[in-house]
Structure 1
C-alpha cells in the first residue's frame, strides 16, 4: 500500500495547519525598510507560539522566505526547543527540497546574496545534505565570474575614458591647416615663341597590339552541404541512475485528482540536476511543487557535458 505510506508522510506536515482553514494570500514584501514590522527573536518565543507562526507561514505559502518569517525558520526554532519531536523533524524533511530548489533558482538568476541565505538555511536543516558541496562550489564559481565581469567592465570604462581624453587633447593641440597658394611660373615670356618655332618630330607608325589569348574558365567544385543543426545538436541522454518518485499531494489524494506536470532541467557533467523549472501542469498548481522536488533529487550517469532536457511526470491514483 504505497499510497498509504504517502498519505502518512504528508499527514505529518499537514497536521500542523488548522483543518479546514482557507489558505491566506501570499505575503507581499514591504516597499521600504520602514514598513518592515519588528519581529521578536525566535529563541524568545515559546513552543505554542512557534507552532502557531509555523502554521500561519504554511497557509501563507511563506515556505522559506522572507528571512525571519518563514515556515523553515519557525520549525528550526521548534527543533531547538524540542529536539526529539518527530512532527517537527518530518516537517523539516518535507520542506528541505523546496529550499534546495529555491537556492538553485536564485543562483541561476544571479541573486547570489539570496542563494547564500538559502544555502545557510539548508545547512541548518541538514548539515550533511548531499547537494551542499555542489551548491557551495557553484556559488563560489558564480561569485568569481561576477567579480571578473565587474573587473572587465571597470577596465573597459577606464579605456573608453582614456580614449575620450586623448581625442579631446588632440583636437585642442592640432594646428590650423595653411591656406593654399597658386603656383607662379618663373619662365620668361620669350620662351613661348621659341617653343612654337621648334620643328615637329616625325610621326611614329603605330603597331596594333596582338589580341589576348582566350582564358579557359576554371571549374570550382561545389562545397559539400553543411550538416543540419538539429543533427549536430542531437545527443544521447545520460542514463537515469537514481529516480526519486514524486510524493502525491495529500489534498489531491483526498479529492481523487489525477494529473501531469512537464518539468525542464539541465543534466550537469557529473550527472546532477540543476535549473529545474516548470513548463506546464494539468491541473495547474496541484502537483507543481511535488514534481519540482522529485526532479531535483534525480541523478544521472556522468556524461561529461551539460544536457538540457525535459520530462513529464504523471500522477495517477492507485487502482482498486
Structure 2
C-alpha cells in the first residue's frame, strides 16, 4: 500500500515542526560544518542502480532529506524507483520522507522563498501524485505570492509618494527664498540725519494748490457691493446598483473581516470611471476586491462628473 507508514510518521513530524525543531536542511548543515573539508563524491549515472542506492543511503544518513537540489535522499530514491518500480523498500523510504518535503514547502512559503517551495511541491507530487495536501499547498503558495506582490507594489507607491512630497517641499522652499524681500537698511536716528544733511537756504513756501473735485481721484466706496453667491455643491447621485464584492479566499480561510475606503469618480452618465484606495483595514487584503466591485457600481445620471468617497465592507456570514 502506498500510504503505509505515512500517518504515524507524518503525525510525529508535524509535532516536531510545531515544537520549533529546525528544518532538516538546517540540521543537515551542522554535520557538514563540523566534518573536515572533503571533496563531495560525484553523483552516479541515472542508470547505475547500485550507485544510486548507495548515494540515497548516504544522503539519508547525512540528513540531506530534500536539499540540496539534485543531491538529496528523496530525489535519489526517486531515481532508484524509476529503475526498480516494484521495490517495496524504496517505496517505504519515499513515503517516510514525504512529510519532510511537505513541511519544508510550508516553511519555504512562510519565508517567501517561492522557488524552493515550488521545487519541494514538485518532489512531493513525484513521490505521491494522490497526496491530499498538494492542492492546499499550491493554493497557499499562490496566495502568498499575491500578498508579496501587493506588498512590493504598496512599498513602491509609498516610496514614490515620499519622493514627490520631498521634491514639492524642496521647490516650495526654493520659491520662498526667491520671493523674499531684501533686508531693510538699518534705521538712522533723526539727529544723525539732520547733522549729516548739508545746510540749504530757506525758501518761502508756496501755497500748494488743492485739486478741484473734478480732478480728484475717485474715492473707494466704504461699503463694496456684496460678492456674487457661490454655486451650490453638486448633489451626490443616487446609487442604483452595487454588486457584492468577491470575498478574498485568503481572508475567508483565515476568518478575517475588514473594510476599504475608496475615492470614486462618477461620470455624468452614472458609471464609475476611476477608483482609488484612501485607507484599508487590514491594509492590502481587501483592496483589489473592493476596487473591482466599486468599478461596477452604477449611479443615476447627473449634470456633471463628481468625486466622492465610498466605504466597502467585508463581513463574514453569520454562523447558523
TM norm. shorter chain > 0.5: no
Higher RCO (CA 8 Å, separation ≥ 6 residues): 1
TM-score bin, normalised by smaller chain: 0.3 to 0.5
